[in-house]
Amino acid sequence: MEHYVCEQTELEERKMYYVALEGLEIGVILVNDQIHAIENTCPHFEGPVCLGNVSERVRMRMDENRMSEGDYHSKEEVNVVCPWHGFEFDIKSGECIADPQFVLRKFNPQVKDGKVYITI
Ligand code: FES
**pLDDT for 3-21, tens place per residue?**
999 999 999 999 999 999 9
Taking a C-beta distance cutoff of 8 angstroms, is the pair 36, 92 a contact? yes
The pLDDT assigned to 30 comes to 97
Residues facing 4 on adjacent strands: 117
Question: Is 72 near ligand 1, meaning CB less than 6 Å away?
Answer: no
In angstroms, the CA 14 to CA 98 distance is 22
**Best residue for ligand 1 mutational test, from 38, 42, 97 (most atoms within 8 Å of Cβ):** 42
Name the nearest CA neighbour of 9 among 119, 116, 87, 120. Answer: 116
Banded model confidence at residue 24, pLDDT cuts 50, 70, 90: very high
The pLDDT assigned to 28 comes to 98
Residues facing 54 on adjacent strands: 80
In angstroms, the CA 39 to CA 57 distance is 21
Query: What is the rounded average pLDDT of the residues 37-57?
Result: 97
Q: What is the mean pLDDT of the chain?
A: 96
Structure pTM?
A: 0.90
Distance 88 CA to ligand 1 centre (A): 9
Q: Kindly calculate the radius of gyration of the chain based on its CA atoms and give it in whole angstroms.
A: 16
Taking a C-beta distance cutoff of 8 angstroms, is the pair 82, 38 a contact? no
Shortest-distance atom of ligand 1 to CA 87: 3
CA nearest ligand 1 atom 3, residue = 85
Banded model confidence at residue 80, pLDDT cuts 50, 70, 90: very high
Distance 91 CA to ligand 1 centre (A): 15
Banded model confidence at residue 44, pLDDT cuts 50, 70, 90: very high
Distance 52 CA to ligand 1 centre (A): 10
**Which CA distances in Å does 7 have to 21, 27, 45, 114?**
16, 14, 32, 6
Banded model confidence at residue 49, pLDDT cuts 50, 70, 90: very high
Question: Is 43 near ligand 1, meaning CB less than 6 Å away?
Answer: no
Provide the edge-to-edge strand list for the sheet that holds 106-107.
17-21, 24-31, 34-39, 106-107
Homologous superfamily (CATH) for 2-119:
Rieske [2Fe-2S] iron-sulphur domain (2.102.10.10)
